[in-house]
Amino acid sequence: MLTFYNEHHAQHRGRHEMFRGALVPCFEKPERVDMVLAEFERRGLGKVVTPHGVSLVSLERIHTPRYLHFLRNAWSEWVALDEANADKDAFPSVWPIRGMRTDIEPDNFAARMGLYSMDSGTPLTAGTWIAAKTGADCAVNAAHALRLGERGTFALTRPPGHHAGADFFGGYCFLNNAALAAQHLLDDGAKRVAILDIDYHHGNGTQSIFYGRNDVLFISIHADPRTEYPFYLGHASETGDAEGKGYNMNLPLAAGSTPAQWFLALESACVKLASFAPDALVVSLGVDTFAGDPLSSFALHSSDFLRIGERIAHTGLPTAFVFEGGYAVNEIGINVVNVLEGFETAN
């Protein structure tokens, strides 16, 4: 498996996040990728390379120019407000809601940060832009390698991406790596691309980006949004809009769902994939479905992740895996690499 590694990921290192009314150490931390890389290299699963940089124009295929401009300059603006801010993460504190205008960008930094965010649990740090941008480079390179003939590729990066929309960040995500990978595949000649999101949390950003389109099928297996983040998207009734009607499939599962229930949902997803017949597949690879994850209530075991990789391989599709969530740090390397090994060794 050809892996594109974000060597700048640790520049995004949040000090704290807001969790259940308190500031706590960040769950999304550099050690997540470090553990995956160590396990990948220990098993000798393939070559690890750094990505070629992609242009901002490529990012604008998914994200709006004014949002990208904000992200690129947010830290310098934050520190310009007060030199002491250099030692603090930036968090949003106010948001536009129903009936408020979003077409006019405020001059006030706090107001602009709220305009481009969806929660108060995603710290913006001094290195957020370079980490997110290099992560996007990894995803686009992983997609491009499929077009050059690779059967499977992996974008090993953080921060994750699937909660980021065209013009907002949240859920630890700033640039939507899976969406960028899918769009690159289309721009590079693919006619139809599918995205399979197996993170514990619904990929609301990815859904919102492609919801009105019929060239990308989005399928997500996730915890029921009535009880789990991101709460406001991810219901089974959301099937797409306009030309995208029928090209969005949500498979929400109740808290405490068993591995058998989860794999039944995966089988439904694979049946839908087969009927869509895409040219390539992008997998949002979150392993926070693991029984020991602190932010999950599913019960998959490490051996189950091998089965996931095997089933994805049996779709017969060129596949780019993009790293998303997973917060049981001690086991994260085993769980992620099990998926990749299952994919690589499947007959």
Give the other-Cβ count within 10 Å of 132's Cβ.
31
DSSP letter for each residue of 176-196: -HHHHHHHHHHHTT-S-EEEE
Give the other-Cβ count within 10 Å of 243's Cβ.
11
The vertex-292 CA angle with 290 and 294, nearest 5°, equals 100
Q: For strands 16-19 and 280-285, give the pairing.
A: unpaired
In 3D space, the residue among 266, 280, 275, 340 whose CA is nearest the CA of residue 305 turns out to be 340
163 is catalytic: yes
C-alpha 41/C-alpha 23 separation (Å) is 35
Sign of CA dihedral 46, 50, 55, 59: positive
63, 163, 201, 202: which one is catalytic? 163
Q: Which residues are catalytic?
A: 163
